[in-house]
Amino acid sequence: MYLSYTAGGLGAYSDSRGLPGIRKEVAEFIERRDGYPSDPELIYLTDGASKGVMQMLQTIIRGNGDGILVPVPQYPLYSAAISLFGGALVPYYLEETANWGLDINNLRQSVAEARFKGITVRAMVIINPGNPTGQCLSVDNLQQILRFCHQENLVLLGDEVYQQNVYQDERPFISSRKVLLDMGPPISKEVQLISFHTVSKGFLGECGQRGGYFEMTNIPPQTVDEIYKVASISLSPNVPGQIFMGVMVSPPKPGDISYDRFLRESKGILESLRKRAHMMTDGFNSCKNVVCNFTEGAMYSFPQIKLPPKAIAAAKSAGKVPDVFYCLKLLEATGISTVPGSGFGQKEGVFHLRTTILPAEEDMPAIMASFKKFNDAFMDQYDDHRGYSRM
């Protein structure tokens, strides 16, 4: 079926925006998801979502006076791309004690501070579900964000690549676009939104194919045309990745021969990930000096590790940032490879690590036991007050 979109093969360039047939399927997927029609002409396929995010940031950033609001902790794509394009990253902190929620006052303060420095804030990034923080944004929170973007005339970049990865039922994924359109005019007609999705996450996880799309809402037609022109410089996104996108957005339907198997397998993967999210969070929280919010969505656990002064001093004399020091010790002792929280941004004086919930379900108990054993030994070595109450 997909070969009919490509005149019979994968060997030719496609339209620089992607194959029209696939963009139509993406539009149908979005309509089924949100309950509002979507226009295939406003959907561009990309070599993975990252390339789409980069293209949009490059379009928005005119120079070093332009700022982009980015959540901290954040996925380093944003800091790296903003730096590459010569813009300014304007951080807004997610509240760890409020389950990595977004405080709108905090956001206002970030914008005010940036303005004071002469920065024109042009856009705001949200990552929902969060990477590396794993939270799912509520409808209420999304409405606040959209009202804020309306007031401040910000383009909203909605990184929604983990929309299929949700591990609780209280806050199912809801797209920024649905919340926007539900709000009605003037906001629904005026806030400019670009939403990103990928074949790399979900239960498909086909990262190597580099398939992604972005959908533009309320973007002026001349801007859409310019974005097309820029996309055409590099001719077209890779065609196999586009086909994967088609497969992802048009899964088997009831009555299709593969429907039962698809349902069983996809459900199985997501249920297992949910179990793993619980096992990992519980494992971290079983350590006295570790505090970890539950992974509501995405694929990551981002526990805070409370490091005693002696560990911080030892890190310093080893010439390392404390969380890097801890993660390297963990790697050496157990073979568990994690990413220090400093790579994602964190508040001054607190330390995290990021890990994925992707190890096999049956391996998870041994991994968390190994982590706990390491952490206990680390604390025995570096915490003089071990056994006493700590903050």
Residue (48 or 158) nearer to a copy of itself, CB? 48
Read off φ and ψ for residue 289, nearest 5 degrees: -95, 15
Nearest distance from residue 179's CB to a copy of itself, in Å? 28
> CA nearest 127: which of 167, 78, 83, 87?
78
Please provide the DSSP assignment of 48-86 as one string.
Answer: HHHHHHHHHHHHH--STTEEEEEEES--THHHHHHHHTT
Nearest to residue 279, comparing CAs of 172, 202, 167, 173? 167
Q: Which is nearer to a copy of itself, 111 or 204 (CB)?
A: 204
- Shortest reach from residue 80's CB to a copy of itself, in Å: 5
Distance in angstroms (rounded) separating the CA atoms of residues 357 and 272: 10
Rg, Å, the chain Cα set: 22
Minimal distance, residue 204 CB to a copy of itself, in Å: 9
54 versus 126: smaller Cβ distance to a copy of itself: 54
The smaller minimum CB distance to a copy of itself, of residues 43 and 243, is found at 243
Nearer to a copy of itself by C-beta: 42 or 81? 81
Shortest separation between residue 210's beta carbon and a copy of itself, angstroms: 4
Using the minimum distance from each CB to a copy of itself, give the nearer residue, 110 or 238: 238
Q: How far apart are alpha carbons 337 and 327 in whole angstroms?
A: 7
Chain residues in the site for a copy of itself (CB under 8 A): 6, 9-14, 47-48, 50-51, 54, 58, 77, 80-81, 84, 200, 205-210, 229-230, 233-241
CB of 173 to a copy of itself, least distance (A): 23
Q: Which residue has the tokens 């997501």?
A: 270
Q: Are 314 and 308 in contact (CB under 8 A)?
A: no
For residue 76, the minimal CB distance to a copy of itself (Å) is: 8
Measured between alpha carbons, how far is residue 385 from residues 312, 376, 379 in Å? 15, 13, 9
Tell me how far, at minimum, the Cβ of 8 lies from a copy of itself, in Å. Answer: 11
Give least dist CB 156 to a copy of itself, A: 21
Contact between 134 and 167 under an 8 Å Cβ cutoff? The reply is no
Q: How near is the Cβ of 362 to a copy of itself at its closest, in Å?
A: 20
Q: Is 60 exposed, middle or buried (0-12, 13-18, 19+ CB in 10 A)?
A: buried
How far, in Å, CA of 326 to CA of 323, rounded?
5
Signed CA dihedral, 40, 46, 52, 54: sign only: negative
Q: Which is nearer to a copy of itself, 146 or 227 (CB)?
A: 227
Indicate the residue among 77 and 179 with the shorter CB distance to a copy of itself: 77
Residue closer to a copy of itself by CB (options 181, 247) is 247
Q: Shortest approach of a copy of itself to residue 273 CB, angstroms?
A: 16
Nearer to a copy of itself, 37 or 63 (CB): 63
Q: What is the C-alpha to C-alpha distance for residues 199 and 249, in angstroms, rounded to an integer?
A: 9
The three state secondary structure string of 79-90 is HHHHHHCCCEEE
DSSP at 44: E
CA distance 226 to 221: 9
